[in-house]
Structure 1
Amino acid sequence: MAEEPDAEAAENWALVNTPLGEPWSGRARYAAAMVFYKRGEMNAETLEVYRICSRLDAEDPLPIIRDRGVGRDWLKRMGFTG
């Protein structure tokens, strides 16, 4: 049986918010970001930042997204005010 879309979104929301510094957390955030990109909820430039940060578990992608001037809607959704 296929997973409910809301359950999928909730699971990936938790993954995209995986705490910084945990082993494999960058890859988990990137995998979740890919889901949001495929759903049309994230643009390609924002996804690229998650890709770049995927091997850097302690790197927060949100300031980089802000500094690049991409993903304003995503930053708002994440509650990023930094």
Structure 2
Amino acid sequence: MDYETKRHWEMIRFPAGTEWSGRARYAAAMFFYQHGLMDAETLEVYRICSRLDAEDPAAVLRRYKIGVDWLALLEGSVDP
């Protein structure tokens, strides 16, 4: 895994509640979307949550039962 991809994996996993974490997660989500690892519906959840540092986008995805493929990647049960 190259440095840029590794850095975006770190950013997408920033814990909820950390200042500016929502925007960092959204930036990383855009990276994964552009590389074909995330669908548009999942990216939209990250966009909506980008200004809500305390909101965990993964929890939102689980709640609404969307982004199943992305969650499998995020949780490490599938390799990118």
TM-score, normalisation: structure 1: 0.85
Residue correspondence of structure 1 range 22-33 to structure 2 within 5 A: 22-33=18-29
Distance 1:19 1:42 in 2: 19
Residue correspondence of structure 1 range 46-61 to structure 2 within 5 A: 46-61=42-57
Percent sequence identity over aligned pairs: 57
- Write the letter of the residue equivalent to 1:56: L
- Write the letter of the residue equivalent to 2:65: G
- Write the letter of the residue equivalent to 1:18: F
Distance 1:69 1:43 in 2: 14
**Residue 36 of structure 2 is aligned to residue 40 of structure 1:** yes
Residue correspondence of structure 1 range 1-82 to structure 2 within 5 A: 6-79=2-75
Distance 1:58 1:67 in 2: 16
4+ runs of 1 displaced by more than 3 Å?
A: none
Distance 1:52 1:33 in 2: 12
Unpaired segments of 5 or more residues in structure 2? none
**Deviations, residues 21-50 of structure 1 (Å, cap 9, x unaligned):** 111000000000000000000000000000
Aligned length: 76
Distance 2:63 2:19 in 1: 25
Larger gyration radius, structure 1 or structure 2: 1
